[in-house]
Protein backbone atom coordinates (compact mmCIF):
# COMPACT_ATOMS: atom_id res chain seq x y z
CA UNK A 1 0.00 0.00 0.00
CA UNK A 2 1.40 3.39 -0.99
CA UNK A 3 0.72 6.57 0.85
CA UNK A 4 1.01 10.01 -0.57
CA UNK A 5 2.00 13.04 1.38
CA UNK A 6 0.98 16.58 0.79
CA UNK A 7 4.08 18.39 -0.57
CA UNK A 8 3.04 21.56 1.24
CA UNK A 9 3.38 19.73 4.55
CA UNK A 10 6.94 18.59 3.83
CA UNK A 11 8.31 21.95 2.71
CA UNK A 12 9.84 24.19 5.35
CA UNK A 13 7.94 27.36 6.18
CA UNK A 14 9.15 30.50 4.44
CA UNK A 15 10.42 33.03 6.91
CA UNK A 16 8.65 36.36 6.89
CA UNK A 17 10.70 39.57 6.67
CA UNK A 18 11.12 41.53 9.89
CA UNK A 19 11.37 45.32 10.16
CA UNK A 20 15.17 44.89 9.96
CA UNK A 21 14.85 43.02 6.67
CA UNK A 22 12.54 45.77 5.45
CA UNK A 23 15.16 48.37 6.43
CA UNK A 24 17.66 46.66 4.11
CA UNK A 25 15.22 46.88 1.18
CA UNK A 26 15.77 50.65 0.94
CA UNK A 27 19.23 49.78 -0.43
CA UNK A 28 17.72 48.07 -3.49
CA UNK A 29 18.30 49.91 -6.76
CA UNK A 30 21.02 51.35 -8.94
CA UNK A 31 23.48 53.81 -7.43
CA UNK A 32 26.43 55.97 -8.54
CA UNK A 33 29.11 56.70 -5.96
CA UNK A 34 32.10 58.91 -5.30
CA UNK A 35 34.67 57.72 -2.77
CA UNK A 36 37.28 59.73 -0.89
CA UNK A 37 39.70 57.35 0.76
CA UNK A 38 43.26 56.60 1.79
CA UNK A 39 45.18 54.11 -0.35
CA UNK A 40 47.35 53.26 2.66
CA UNK A 41 48.86 54.61 5.86
CA UNK A 42 50.33 58.11 5.52
CA UNK A 43 48.93 58.32 1.98
CA UNK A 44 46.89 61.30 0.74
CA UNK A 45 43.16 60.95 0.15
CA UNK A 46 42.20 59.80 -3.34
CA UNK A 47 38.86 60.25 -5.10
CA UNK A 48 37.30 57.55 -7.26
CA UNK A 49 33.91 56.85 -8.78
CA UNK A 50 31.77 53.86 -9.68
CA UNK A 51 28.35 52.27 -9.78
CA UNK A 52 26.53 49.74 -7.66
CA UNK A 53 23.45 47.63 -8.36
CA UNK A 54 21.63 46.16 -5.36
CA UNK A 55 19.02 43.41 -5.63
CA UNK A 56 16.69 41.84 -3.09
CA UNK A 57 16.82 38.10 -2.47
CA UNK A 58 13.43 37.02 -1.18
CA UNK A 59 12.96 40.20 0.85
CA UNK A 60 15.37 38.75 3.44
CA UNK A 61 18.75 39.56 1.89
CA UNK A 62 20.29 42.17 -0.39
CA UNK A 63 23.19 41.57 -2.76
CA UNK A 64 25.21 44.53 -4.03
CA UNK A 65 27.57 44.37 -6.99
CA UNK A 66 29.82 47.36 -7.55
CA UNK A 67 32.19 48.38 -10.32
CA UNK A 68 34.59 51.25 -10.00
CA UNK A 69 38.05 52.67 -9.65
CA UNK A 70 40.07 51.44 -6.69
CA UNK A 71 43.80 51.36 -6.07
CA UNK A 72 44.61 52.43 -9.65
CA UNK A 73 42.55 49.64 -11.19
CA UNK A 74 38.94 48.83 -12.00
CA UNK A 75 37.54 46.71 -9.20
CA UNK A 76 34.45 44.59 -8.71
CA UNK A 77 32.96 44.35 -5.23
CA UNK A 78 30.16 42.18 -3.87
CA UNK A 79 28.38 42.74 -0.57
CA UNK A 80 25.66 40.61 1.01
CA UNK A 81 23.53 41.83 3.90
CA UNK A 82 20.75 40.22 5.87
CA UNK A 83 19.36 40.06 9.37
CA UNK A 84 19.53 37.03 11.66
CA UNK A 85 16.50 37.15 14.01
CA UNK A 86 17.99 34.47 16.29
CA UNK A 87 21.16 36.49 16.84
CA UNK A 88 19.26 39.79 16.60
CA UNK A 89 22.16 41.04 14.47
CA UNK A 90 22.72 42.13 10.89
CA UNK A 91 25.05 39.74 9.08
CA UNK A 92 26.83 39.79 5.76
CA UNK A 93 29.98 39.65 3.70
CA UNK A 94 32.09 41.91 1.51
CA UNK A 95 34.65 40.89 -1.09
CA UNK A 96 36.58 42.73 -3.75
CA UNK A 97 38.55 41.74 -6.83
CA UNK A 98 41.60 43.58 -5.44
CA UNK A 99 42.12 41.32 -2.39
CA UNK A 100 41.78 37.73 -1.18
CA UNK A 101 40.26 38.49 2.24
CA UNK A 102 36.53 37.81 2.75
CA UNK A 103 35.13 40.38 5.18
CA UNK A 104 32.43 39.04 7.53
CA UNK A 105 29.95 41.58 8.84
CA UNK A 106 28.17 41.67 12.21
CA UNK A 107 26.13 44.76 12.96
CA UNK A 108 23.28 46.71 14.45
CA UNK A 109 20.99 49.66 13.75
CA UNK A 110 21.09 52.73 15.95
CA UNK A 111 18.07 53.51 18.16
CA UNK A 112 16.60 55.87 15.53
CA UNK A 113 16.94 53.13 12.86
CA UNK A 114 18.82 55.49 10.53
CA UNK A 115 22.40 54.22 10.84
CA UNK A 116 23.62 50.65 10.32
CA UNK A 117 27.06 49.91 11.83
CA UNK A 118 28.78 46.78 10.52
CA UNK A 119 31.81 45.42 12.39
CA UNK A 120 34.47 43.30 10.71
CA UNK A 121 38.03 42.06 10.96
CA UNK A 122 40.57 42.31 8.17
CA UNK A 123 44.19 42.86 7.20
CA UNK A 124 45.72 45.98 8.72
CA UNK A 125 46.74 48.78 6.39
CA UNK A 126 50.38 48.43 7.41
CA UNK A 127 50.84 45.27 5.38
CA UNK A 128 52.33 43.46 8.38
CA UNK A 129 50.08 40.40 7.92
CA UNK A 130 48.13 41.13 11.10
CA UNK A 131 44.37 41.49 11.40
CA UNK A 132 42.67 44.59 12.71
CA UNK A 133 39.18 45.76 13.65
CA UNK A 134 37.08 47.76 11.17
CA UNK A 135 33.59 49.18 10.97
CA UNK A 136 31.49 50.36 8.04
CA UNK A 137 28.70 52.79 8.84
CA UNK A 138 25.77 53.15 6.41
CA UNK A 139 23.57 56.20 6.90
CA UNK A 140 20.65 57.32 4.77
CA UNK A 141 20.60 61.10 4.33
CA UNK A 142 17.46 60.75 2.16
CA UNK A 143 15.86 57.93 0.12
CA UNK A 144 18.08 59.05 -2.79
CA UNK A 145 21.38 59.59 -0.90
CA UNK A 146 23.29 57.33 1.44
CA UNK A 147 26.77 57.61 2.92
CA UNK A 148 29.18 54.79 3.77
CA UNK A 149 31.94 55.77 6.19
CA UNK A 150 34.72 53.28 7.01
CA UNK A 151 36.92 53.24 10.10
CA UNK A 152 39.77 51.16 11.50
CA UNK A 153 40.72 50.75 15.14
CA UNK A 154 44.17 52.29 15.60
CA UNK A 155 46.83 51.08 18.02
CA UNK A 156 45.81 53.81 20.46
CA UNK A 157 42.26 52.38 20.66
CA UNK A 158 40.66 55.20 18.66
CA UNK A 159 38.51 54.73 15.57
CA UNK A 160 40.18 56.43 12.57
CA UNK A 161 38.15 57.28 9.48
CA UNK A 162 39.83 56.23 6.23
CA UNK A 163 37.05 56.36 3.65
CA UNK A 164 33.76 58.10 2.83
CA UNK A 165 31.54 57.11 -0.08
CA UNK A 166 28.50 59.12 -1.16
CA UNK A 167 25.92 57.06 -3.08
CA UNK A 168 23.20 58.69 -5.19
CA UNK A 169 20.26 56.71 -6.55
CA UNK A 170 20.13 56.55 -10.35
Q: In the chain, what are the domain boundaries?
A: 17-35+48-169
Average pLDDT, the chain: 91
pLDDT for the residue 20: 97
Rounded Cα distance, 98 and 77, in Å: 9
Specify whether domain 17-35+48-169 bears CATH 2.40.128.20.
Answer: yes
Query: Using CA atoms, how far apart are residues 36 and 133, in angstroms rounded to an integer?
Result: 20
CA angle at 154 for the pair 153 and 157, rounded to the nearest 5°: 80
Of 13-22, 38-47, 142-151, which range is least confident? 38-47
For residue 40, the model assigns a pLDDT of 65
Q: What would the mean pLDDT of 11-17 be, rounded to a whole number?
A: 78
pLDDT digits (tens, 9 = 90+) for 67-91: 998 767 899 999 999 999 999 999 9
Q: Is the per-residue pLDDT at 1 higher than 80?
A: no
Residue 42 burial (CB count, 10 A): 6
Q: Answer yes or no: is pLDDT of 94 > 70.
A: yes
What's the distance, CA 117 to chain centroid? 9
Instruction: Kindly state the helix (H) or strand (E) to which residue 52 belongs, with its residue range.
Output: strand 45-57
Residue 99: name the closest of 123, 69, 119, 134 by CA. Answer: 123
Q: Is the pLDDT of residue 97 over 60?
A: yes
User: What is the CB-side half-sphere exposure of residue 35 using CA atoms within 13 A?
Assistant: 22
Average pLDDT over residues 120-132: 88
Amino acid sequence: MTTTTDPQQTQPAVEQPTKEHQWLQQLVGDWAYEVDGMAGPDQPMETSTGTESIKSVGGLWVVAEGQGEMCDTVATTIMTLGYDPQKQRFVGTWMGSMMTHLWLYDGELDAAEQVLTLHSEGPTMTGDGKLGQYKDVIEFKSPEHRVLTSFFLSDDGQWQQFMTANYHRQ
